[in-house]
Copies of this chain bind each other. A is one copy, B any other.
Amino acid sequence: MTHDTDFVGHSINDVDTPALWVDLDALESNIARMVALCGQHQVFWRPHVKACKAPGLAQRLLRGGACGVTCAKVSEAEAMLAGGVNDILIANVVVGMQKISRLVEVARAARLAVACDDESNIREISRAASEAAVTVDVLVDVNVGVNRCGVTPSQAPGLARLVSDLPGLRLRGLMGYEGHIMKLEPEEKATASAVVAKILAEARDLLRAAGYEPEILSGGGSGNYWHAASLGTINELQAGGGALMDVTYHDEMHLPGHQFALFVNAQVVSTAIAGRVTLDSGWKTTGCQTGLPRIISHEGAEVLELHAEHGVVVLEDGVKLSPAERVTMVPHYSDTTVLLHREMYAVRDGKIEACWPITAAGALR
């Protein structure tokens, strides 16, 4: 097989399909938009890389103005670290000694913060960090409404005190991620974002009253970042997916002014059935649990259904696609798509500038 880096300088159409690629102009425009918004409000941008999964892409976020990255798993952080990213927030609880041992090793090599919502978990991380002679930064996780992890504001000072008192840990602040409001209607989002910010602010005020100054207040997703970053509560924004943009972010989360930056090229593999063509890309290529990908290369061609390895496309009268013809689609959701691939091409004006291995795909632990 041709090695992927051999394609640098070639057209993206020289790469066999399915091919996942990023349009660098669109990516940079989205990054600039998010960074500018953050700059206006003195908020640091720490984009989540759960969707991008590629350290090469993460490096572009950093170059564009990110202060570091946000991860969901220790293994994601390990992949980012191996790719040269060394300022990482794991915006998730890390539970169990196997993962905590690895967490501590990441903390040895990177500036690392982790979310905590449980006393015994905090004690375990403290013990492991102390034994390894490293310091792990901690954000107390506050439940702002997702109802999966995080304590109430009134419980936050107790955990902050514990973190502050134990060796191997440094209390850095609070986080509260509002995943439950990302798909609200546009007119409801400002209010919902304010409700979320109020919960986090309540926790902040209780910490202050207890004598702890939270240096970091982290939150905000791509679906509400323009509200979250402007409310004056958070000073670190976790939203990252908006840099890639996709159909979900466009149609369901209404990101203002973002451009589609993530694409899948597919190829017609069968024209045997009248009125339709079949692509070599199904739901193992563009995840479909949220919806179907959108064809942008051909007017009058629409994805009707995705099978595991096939996309069935219906054609309007008069529209023709030939065998082996290439079709470009926007995935419905970047987060369900990128992890299915092993590399992503960075493209400008149709030409490949880089091939980024997606090393955090499959990083589940």
The verdict on A209 contacting chain B, using a C-beta distance below 8 Å, is no
Closest to A102 in B: B1
Binds B, one of A24-32, A247-255, A269-277: A269-277
> With the chains together, A361 CA to B339 CA distance in Å?
10
Known A323-B121, A339-B340, A362-B340: A269·B307 in contact at CB below 8 Å: no
Say whether B149 contacts A270, CB under 8 Å.
Answer: yes
Binds B, one of A89-97, A192-200, A295-303: A89-97
Q: Which of A85-137 touch B at CB < 8 Å?
A: 92-96, 98-99, 102, 117-118, 120-121
> With the chains together, A323 CA to B365 CA distance in Å?
16
Say whether B268 contacts A312, CB under 8 Å.
Answer: no
The verdict on A356 contacting chain B, using a C-beta distance below 8 Å, is no
Say whether B364 contacts A272, CB under 8 Å.
Answer: no
Say whether A284 contacts B365, CB under 8 Å.
Answer: no
- Give residues in A with beta carbon < 8 Å to B: 1, 16-18, 50, 72-73, 92-96, 98-99, 102, 117-118, 120-121, 141, 143, 146-151, 179, 267-273, 276, 278, 280-281, 283-285, 287-289, 307-310, 312, 323-324, 335-336, 339-342, 361-362, 364-365
Minimum CB–CB distance from A298 to chain B (whole Å) comes to 17
> With the chains together, A95 CA to B323 CA distance in Å?
8
Partner of A150, one of B96, B143, B146, B272: B272
Say whether A148 contacts B362, CB under 8 Å.
Answer: no
Closest to A326 in B: B96
Say whether B18 contacts A147, CB under 8 Å.
Answer: no
Known A95-B268, A324-B95: A50·B309 in contact at CB below 8 Å: yes
Q: Which residues of the partner chain B approach A94 to less than 8 Å between Cβ atoms? A: 269
13 further A-B contacts with Cβ under 8 Å, apart from A95-B269, A143-B273, A148-B310, are A73-B309, A92-B309, A93-B269, A148-B270, A148-B276, A149-B270, A149-B278, A150-B272, A284-B339, A285-B364, A287-B289, A340-B362, A342-B362
Partner of A270, one of B17, B118, B273, B278: B118
Say whether A364 contacts B341, CB under 8 Å.
Answer: yes
Say whether A18 contacts B364, CB under 8 Å.
Answer: yes
Say whether B268 contacts A151, CB under 8 Å.
Answer: no
Q: Which residues of the partner chain B approach A341 to less than 8 Å between Cβ atoms? A: 362, 364
Closest to A93 in B: B269
> With the chains together, A280 CA to B146 CA distance in Å?
15
Say whether A72 contacts B362, CB under 8 Å.
Answer: no
A272, A278, A281, A324 — most chain B CB neighbours (10 Å): A272
A99, A148, A150, A270 — most chain B CB neighbours (10 Å): A148
Say whether B272 contacts A118, CB under 8 Å.
Answer: yes
> With the chains together, A253 CA to B245 CA distance in Å?
36
Closest to A51 in B: B308
Partner of A324, one of B96, B268, B324: B96
A73, A117, A120, A312 — most chain B CB neighbours (10 Å): A117
Say whether A179 contacts B307, CB under 8 Å.
Answer: yes
> With the chains together, A341 CA to B364 CA distance in Å?
8
Minimum CB–CB distance from A286 to chain B (whole Å) comes to 10
